[in-house]
């Protein structure tokens, strides 16, 4: 049976996000259908039987991978990738999301390896989805790698802002050549753009958004 456009879109997203849970697939690809979960189950089962995708039953709801994925079905990385997917779903609902790249690679080994690069409101963001607790030294080392990336000149100016999404608030010391922000979720960060007084961030379009830094 030939793949439909929706089949192809699901497979592309599985490859992009590395792993997706059934409910997220239903939300993104079956919105507007009367019974999105039922429809998603039916399509995913067909793709699974046809060898187009893989599945892990170690999670509830089940999670799915691209056919060529090498991720172990019980890998600890699965939770991390699902957290990245949740950030995408947040940003998608908020609108004006132009680009969303998962774990993009820039330059040589040793420079920053962000969890996400996103263009939101015509502004670039490197996003760290920080679910594990870092020591001050570890966080300083992570930010130093962003300084190394800045110095390479690979990224076009203005250099993206760095956003750390974590339940833990980190003490950021030092003078960095880019803006660093922290929030528990992207939705919380987005709300701070308009609801809290503070410094303005120039957007690439020349407009400014306000955020409490």
Domain spans in the chain, listed from the N-terminal domain onward: 5-74, 78-211
- Provide the residue-wise pLDDT of the chain in tens; the chain has 213 residues: 799 999 999 999 999 999 999 999 999 999 989 999 999 999 999 999 999 999 999 999 999 999 999 999 989 899 999 999 999 999 999 988 999 999 999 877 778 999 999 999 999 999 999 988 889 899 999 999 999 999 999 888 899 999 999 999 999 888 999 999 999 999 999 998 776 544 445 444 333 333 333
How does DSSP classify residue 123?
E
Enter the pTM of the model. Answer: 0.88
The fold for domain 5-74 equals Arc Repressor Mutant, subunit A (1.10.10)
Give the tens place of pLDDT for each residue, 119-128. 999 999 999 9
Pick the CATH number of 78-211 from 1.10.287, 3.40.1350, 3.30.70, 3.30.460: 3.40.1350
* Helices 77-94, 186-195: inter-axial angle, 10-degree rounding: 30
Longest dimension (CA), the chain: 58
Q: What is the pLDDT of residues 46-69, one digit of tens each?
A: 999 999 999 999 999 999 999 999
Contacts of 204 by beta carbon, 8 Å cutoff, 6+ apart: 122, 123, 124, 158
Nearest to 126 by CA among 98, 100, 152: 100
């Amino acid at each position: 049976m030939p793949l439909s456009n929706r089949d192809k879109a699901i497979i592309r997203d599985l490859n992009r996000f590395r792993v997706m849970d059934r409910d997220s697939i239903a939300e993104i690809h079956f919105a507007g259908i009367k019974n999105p979960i039922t429809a998603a189950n039916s399509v995913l089962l067909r793709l699974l039987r046809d060898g187009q995708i893989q599945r892990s039953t170690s999670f509830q709801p089940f999670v799915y991978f691209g056919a060529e994925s090498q991720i172990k079905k019980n890998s600890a990385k699965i939770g991390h990738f699902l957290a990245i997917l949740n950030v995408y779903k947040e940003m998608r609902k908020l609108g004006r999301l132009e680009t969303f790249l998962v774990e993009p690679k820039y330059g040589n080994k040793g420079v920053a390896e962000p969890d996400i690069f996103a263009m939101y409101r015509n502004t670039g963001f490197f996003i760290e989805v920080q679910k594990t607790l870092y020591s001050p030294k570890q966080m300083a080392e992570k930010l130093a790698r962003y300084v190394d990336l800045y110095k390479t000149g690979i990224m076009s100016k203005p250099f993206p802002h760095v956003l750390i999404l974590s339940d833990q608030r980190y003490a950021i010391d030092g003078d960095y050549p880019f803006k660093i922000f922290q929030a528990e979720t992207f939705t919380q960060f987005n709300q701070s753009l308009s609801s809290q007084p503070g410094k303005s961030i120039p957007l690439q379009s020349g407009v400014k958004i306000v955020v409490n830094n």
